[in-house]
Chain A
Amino acid sequence: MNKNYLLPGIVVLLSFSMIIFSTVLLPNFIFKPAPSEFAVKYTPLEAKGRKIYLREGCVYCHSQFVRPQDRDFGPLVMAGDYVYETPNVLGTIRTGPDLSNEGGKHPDAWHIAHFKNPRTTTPGSVMPPFVYLKDEEMKALVAYVQSLGKKRIVKYNRIYHPDELEKVLEKRKVNVDSSAAANAGRGIFQQNCATCHGTHGLGNGPNAIAIAKKPANFSRPFFKDYDDVTWFWRITEGVPGTRMPQWGKLLTEEQRWYLVAFLKTLPRENEVYPKAYETLDPERWNEQQKISAAELNSQKPAMIIETKGPPPGAGGGH
Chain B
Amino acid sequence: MFFSDKENSASRNFIVTAVFWLVIGMTLGLTGAIEFTAPDLSTGVPWLTFSRIRPAHVNTVAFGWLSMANIGIVLYIVPTLTRSKLFNEKLANFVCLVWNLAIFGGILCLVNGYSEGREYAEFPVPIDVMVLTGLLTLSYVVYMTAITRTVKKLYVSLWYILGTFFWMPLVYFIGNRTFVRLEGLNDGIVNWFYGHNILGMWFTTLGVGIAYYMIPKLSGRPLWSHSLSMLGFWTIAFFYAPTGTHHILQSPVPEWLKALAVVFSVALVIPVITVLTNFFMTMKGNWWQLANNLPLRFVLTGAFFYFITCIQGPFQATRSINWYLHFTQWVVGHAHVALLGTFTFFDFGAIYYILPRILNRQFYSVGLARAHYWLTLIGFLIFFSSMTIGGLVQSAGWHAGIPVNQWGIEMVPYWILRAMGGSLMWFGNVLFLLNVIQTMRAVKPLDSPDVEPAMAPAKS
Q: A residues engaging B (CB < 8 A)?
A: 1-2, 5, 12-13, 15-16, 19-20, 22-24, 27-28, 30-31, 33, 54-61, 63, 65, 67, 69-72, 77-79, 81-90, 92-98, 117-119, 122, 124-132, 240-241
Contacts and interface: CB of A to CB of B under 8 A. Distances in A.
A286 B282 CA distance: 46
Contact of A28 (B42, B182, B404): B182
Contacts of B407: 95
B427 interface: no
B184 A57 contact: no
Interface in B31-60: 35-36, 39-40, 42-46, 49-52, 54-55
27 contacts: A2-B152, A15-B238, A16-B167, A19-B242, A23-B241, A23-B257, A24-B190, A28-B189, A31-B189, A57-B54, A60-B50, A65-B250, A69-B399, A71-B398, A71-B401, A77-B252, A85-B183, A88-B118, A88-B188, A88-B191, A90-B248, A93-B329, A119-B39, A127-B39, A128-B49, A129-B42, A131-B44
Contacts of B411: 126
A132 B50 contact: no
A264 to B, nearest CB: 26
A93 B332 contact: yes
A31 B253 CA distance: 9
B248 A128 contact: no
Given A23-B242, A54-B115, A92-B247, A128 B190 contact: no
A96 B174 contact: no
B163 A12 contact: yes
B281 interface: no
B250 A119 contact: no
B289 interface: no
Nearest to A207: B320
Contacts of B447: none
A70 B328 CA distance: 13
Interface string B290-310: 000000000000000000000
B251 A65 contact: yes
B184 A72 contact: no
Interface string B362-402: 00000000000000000000000000000000000011110
A277 B84 CA distance: 70
Contacts of B52: 56-57
B201 to A, nearest CB: 9
Nearest to B247: A92
Given A92-B331, A96-B404, 14 more contacts: A27-B253, A31-B253, A55-B113, A55-B114, A59-B119, A60-B119, A63-B327, A77-B251, A86-B182, A92-B326, A93-B328, A94-B327, A126-B35, A128-B49
Nearest to B116: A87
Contact of A27 (B44, B189, B323, B401): B189
A69 B328 CA distance: 14
B336 to A, nearest CB: 13
Contact of B190 (A28, A65, A124, A130): A28
Given A85-B187, A126-B408, A128-B35, A94 B328 contact: yes
B231 interface: no
Contacts of B285: none
A29 to B, nearest CB: 10
B193 A84 contact: no
B115 A88 contact: no
Contacts of A119: 39-40
A81 B55 CA distance: 27
Interface residues on B, range: 35 or more
A97 B188 contact: no
B40 A240 contact: no
A140 to B, nearest CB: 14
A129 B51 contact: no
Contacts of B443: none
B237 interface: yes
Given A16-B167, A27-B254, A83 B184 contact: yes
A222 to B, nearest CB: 22
Given A87-B191, A88-B188, A122-B405, A128 B39 contact: yes
B51 A61 contact: yes
Q: Which of B54, B119, B185, B409 has the largest count of A CB atoms less than 10 A from its CB?
A: B185
A82 B252 CA distance: 10
B183 A128 contact: no
A119 B119 CA distance: 27
Contact of B260 (A22, A79, A132): A22
Contact of B252 (A5, A59, A79, A93): A79
A277 B251 CA distance: 35
B327 A92 contact: yes
A129 B39 contact: yes
Contacts of B328: 93-94
B111 to A, nearest CB: 10
A130 B45 CA distance: 9
A128 B244 CA distance: 30
Contacts of B36: 126
Pairs of residues from A and B, 4 with the lowest C-beta to C-beta distance, nearest first: A57-B51, A240-B401, A82-B184, A54-B117
A137 B50 CA distance: 19
Contacts of A78: 252
A65 B252 contact: yes
B191 to A, nearest CB: 6
Contacts of A63: 327
Contacts of A31: 185-186, 189, 253-254, 257
B183 A84 contact: yes
B39 A84 contact: no
A57 to B, nearest CB: 3
Interface string B151-191: 01010000000010011001000100000011111111111
Contacts of B181: 86
Given A60-B54, A69-B323, A92-B248, A23 B119 contact: no
A24 to B, nearest CB: 5
A93 B327 CA distance: 4
Contacts of A96: 404-405
A33 B401 contact: no
Contacts of B254: 27, 30-31, 79
Interface in B316-354: 323, 326-329, 331-332
A19 B42 contact: no
Contacts of A86: 181-184, 187
B183 A97 contact: no
Contacts of A12: 163, 166-167, 237
A213 to B, nearest CB: 11
Interface string B64-103: 0000000000000000000000000000000000000000
A154 to B, nearest CB: 19
A22 B242 contact: yes
A125 B415 CA distance: 13
Contact of B193 (A24, A58, A67, A82): A24
